[in-house]
């Protein structure tokens, strides 16, 4: 019994020791797991802290960059504020202005890059003086690129918003010389009434008064070039008569007295009052060559000229008259205008004593992508002077003439504000007894505009077909003089325009 008791006691002790060992092992494992968990938590904490430090560093760098930009902008604004100036773009022009709006300078510009191809079946030759002759030369095609117009304009007001100014510079497409194309000082006498003086377009033809950047075709019509006043020098008064009528009257030195531009009309003469005159051949200065029959010059070509125009707004907004395009969704605009020009030739000038009277009536319609314009213009001359006749190489009397011109054009936005096909017809009635050859000229133009950003960026392609012989060249239009018995001619013109 005692032996069995000892065995039982030993077994009990063994079982107890085993339980203690298992308990100790379980406790150790729990402790190790706790340590591992603690280490993992620490690692996670360190990683989060490191990520936070990295983000904070990136944020700090970005904040430094932002602060530098703000400080730089602040310095610029502070500089402008110190000089009481603001600058920017008002949606139409870049500008500089004083803080109190007493001074304003707006800057704008125009670039027209053009390609022209001209074909004449019978191209007239020229003599040693460059005058057309009856000879025919073999080269019937003329073509090439040109920068038709490059202009930059500065306009605004000085000291008082009522005191305006405008200076426009133009680059000559032949020699790249820069000349003033417009010089104007104006003062607003009262609301809607402005007195101005300087050199600008005379208030006569609607087509000429519409900017070259806002024409329907690549360029204006031959009829316009025949009857235009071009730039003139003088003083004018513009007045808004109510909301529906605008009037403009100007006393000036006569057509083309502003910039000495040329005209395709052989029955008018133009020269600035302060500049050299021209002889019977249209030459200036002392450069007469061997053709001159006189060395007598006049200081200007007219004693007096007056121009007046009135425009009526029957529907729409006045802003619609600024171009010939009709944008999609545009309300109906209907306008009618009329103008007169009377000019007295230079007293005592036996070669250019040319009194003449011109008139015009025009109208336009714009509505939801469709545009239509029509104009008629006439001229009566009262000539007492003489002119050079290349056929006889002598001076002959110049008789009175009556000339007429008609223009009708229209277009439609087949793709709203993007693609605009157009068609134009013009007619010029010449005095056959005075000019000889054909007594009328018909010209048809067909083409299209593609607007990238309205007039600011647009491409124009057109074909001009002169069905009759032209009495004079207008190289700006891509049209050239024909022999008096010549045939028709065709000009293809492509142009890209950019405004800024």
Q: What is the 3-state secondary structure (H, E, C) of 290-339?
A: CCCCCCCCCCCCEEEEEEEEEEEEEECCHHHHHCCCCCCCCCCEEEEEEE
CB 374 within 8 Å of CB 356:
no
- Using left for φ > 0, alpha for ψ between -120 and 50, and beta otherwise, residue 130 falls in left
User: DSSP assignment, residue 77?
Assistant: H
Q: How far apart are alpha carbons 326 and 370 in whole angstroms?
A: 6
Tokens at 399, concatenated: 């008789």
Beta bridge partners of 237: 195, 249
Distance CA 42, CA 54 (A): 18
More confident residue, 250 or 259: 250
> Quick one: pLDDT at residue 263?
55
- List, for residues 117-164, the tens digit of each pLDDT value: 999 976 666 666 666 665 555 568 999 999 999 999 999 999 999 999
Mean residue pLDDT of the chain comes to: 81
Domain borders along the chain are 112-143+193-499
Name the region of 277 (left: φ>0; alpha: ψ -120 to 50; beta: rest): beta
Q: How many CB atoms lie within 10 A of CB 350?
A: 14
Task: Please answer whether residues 165 and 156 qualify as being in contact, where contact means their C-beta atoms are separated by less than 8 angstroms.
Answer: yes
- Is the CB of residue 344 less than 8 Å from the CB of residue 307? no
**pLDDT by residue (tens digit) across 271-314?**
444 444 444 444 444 333 333 333 333 456 678 899 999 999 99
CA torsion, points 53, 56, 62, 64, in degrees to nearest 10? -100
Phi then psi for residue 41, to 5 deg, are: -60, -40
Q: Which of 426, 383, 430, 382 is nearest to 403 (CA)?
A: 430
CA distance 225 to 227: 6
User: 238 vs 162, 234, 312, CA distance in Å?
Assistant: 14, 13, 14
Max avg pLDDT among 16-20, 30-34, 76-80, 253-257: 253-257
Q: Identify the DSSP state of 263.
A: -
Contact call for residues 467 and 442 (beta carbons, < 8 A):
yes
Q: What is the pLDDT of residue 282?
A: 46
The alpha carbon of residue 395 and the mean position of all alpha carbons in its chain are separated, in whole angstroms, by 43
Q: Which two tokens stand for residue 433?
A: 């007894």
For residues 444-464, average pLDDT: 98
The pLDDT assigned to 390 comes to 57
Q: How far apart are CA 303 and CA 384, in angstroms?
A: 14
**pLDDT (tens digit, 9 = 90+) per residue, 341-383?**
999 887 766 555 578 999 999 999 999 999 999 999 999 988 7
- Which is nearest to 136 in space by CA: 127, 125, 147? 125
> What is the pLDDT at residue 293?
35
Closest CA to 304 of 398, 233, 237: 233
Residues 6 or more apart whose Cβ sits within 8 Å of residue 291: 129, 281, 388
Contact 437, 466 (CB under 8 A): no
DSSP 244: T
Residue 15: how many other CB atoms lie within 10 Å: 10
Looking at residue 487, its pLDDT comes to 79
Residue 303 has a pLDDT of 85
Q: What is the pLDDT of residues 57-72, one digit of tens each?
A: 666 677 667 667 766 6
| 434 pLDDT above the threshold of 60 | no
The pLDDT, as a whole number, for residue 350 is: 53
Give backbone dihedrals phi and psi of 73, rounded to 5 degrees, phi first.
Answer: -65, -40
d(CA 208, CA 212): 8
155 close to 198: Cβ distance less than 8 angstroms:
no
* The overall pTM is greater than 0.95: no
Of the candidates 478, 490, 461, 482, the one whose C-alpha atom is nearest the C-alpha of residue 144 is 478
Beta-carbon contacts of residue 417 (< 8 Å; ≥ 6 apart)? 327, 328, 451, 454
Each residue's pLDDT tens digit, 477-491: 999 988 766 778 999
Q: So what's the pLDDT on residue 475?
A: 84
> Contact, 447 vs 463, CB < 8 A?
yes
First to last CA, the chain: 123
Class at the top of the CATH hierarchy for domain 112-143+193-499: mainly beta
d(CA 346, CA 423) in angstroms, rounded, equals 41
């Amino acid at each position: 019994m005692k032996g069995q008791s000892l065995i039982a006691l030993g077994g009990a002790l063994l079982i107890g020791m085993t339980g203690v060992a298992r308990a100790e092992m379980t406790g150790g494992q729990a402790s190790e797991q706790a340590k591992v968990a603690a280490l993992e938590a620490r690692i996670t904490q360190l990683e989060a802290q490191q990520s936070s430090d990295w983000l904070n560093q990136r944020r700090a760098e970005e904040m430094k960059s932002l602060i530098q930009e703000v400080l730089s902008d602040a310095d610029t604004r502070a500089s402008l504020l110190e000089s009481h100036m603001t600058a920017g773009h008002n949606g139409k022009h870049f500008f500089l202005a004083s803080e109190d709006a007493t001074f304003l300078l707006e800057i704008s510009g125009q670039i027209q890059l053009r390609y022209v191809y001209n074909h004449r079946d019978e191209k007239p030759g020229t003599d040693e003086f460059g005058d057309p002759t009856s000879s025919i030369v073999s080269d019937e095609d003329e073509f090439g690129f040109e920068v038709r117009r490059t202009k930059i304009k500065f306009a605004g007001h000085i000291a008082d918003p009522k005191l305006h100014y405008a200076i426009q510079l133009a680059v000559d497409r032949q020699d790249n010389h820069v000349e003033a194309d417009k010089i104007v000082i104006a003062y607003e006498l009262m609301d809607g009434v402005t007195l101005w003086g300087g050199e600008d377009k005379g208030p006569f033809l609607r087509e000429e008064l519409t900017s070259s950047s806002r024409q329907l075709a690549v360029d204006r019509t031959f009829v316009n070039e025949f009857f235009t006043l071009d730039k003139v020098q003088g003083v004018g008064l513009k007045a808004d008569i109510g909301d529906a009528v605008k009037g403009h009257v100007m006393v000036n030195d006569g057509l083309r007295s502003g910039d000495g531009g040329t005209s395709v009309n052989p029955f008018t003469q133009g020269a600035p009052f302060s500049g050299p005159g021209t002889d019977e051949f249209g030459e200036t200065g002392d450069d007469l060559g061997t053709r001159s029959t006189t060395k007598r010059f006049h200081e200007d070509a007219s004693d007096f000229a007056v121009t007046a125009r009135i425009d009526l707004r029957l529907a729409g907004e006045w802003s619609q008259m600024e171009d010939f395009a009709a944008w999609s969704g545009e309300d109906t605009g209907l306008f009618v205008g009329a103008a007169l020009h009377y000019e007295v030739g230079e007293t005592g000038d036996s070669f250019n004593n040319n009194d003449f009277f011109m008139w015009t009536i025009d109208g336009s319609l714009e509505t939801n992508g469709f545009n239509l314009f029509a104009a008629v213009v006439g001229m009566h001359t009262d000539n007492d002077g003489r002119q050079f006749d290349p056929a006889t190489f002598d001076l002959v009397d110049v008789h009175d003439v009556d000339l007429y011109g008609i223009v009708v054009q229209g277009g439609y936005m087949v793709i709203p504000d993007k693609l605009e096909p157009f068609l134009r017809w013009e007619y010029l009635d010449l005095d056959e007894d005075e000019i000889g050859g054909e007594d009328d000229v018909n010209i048809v133009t067909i083409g299209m505009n593609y607007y990238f950003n309205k007039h600011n960026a647009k491409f124009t392609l057109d074909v001009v077909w002169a069905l009759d012989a032209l009495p004079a060249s207008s190289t700006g239009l891509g049209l050239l003089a024909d022999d008096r018995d010549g045939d028709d001619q065709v000009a293809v013109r492509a142009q890209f325009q950019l405004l800024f």
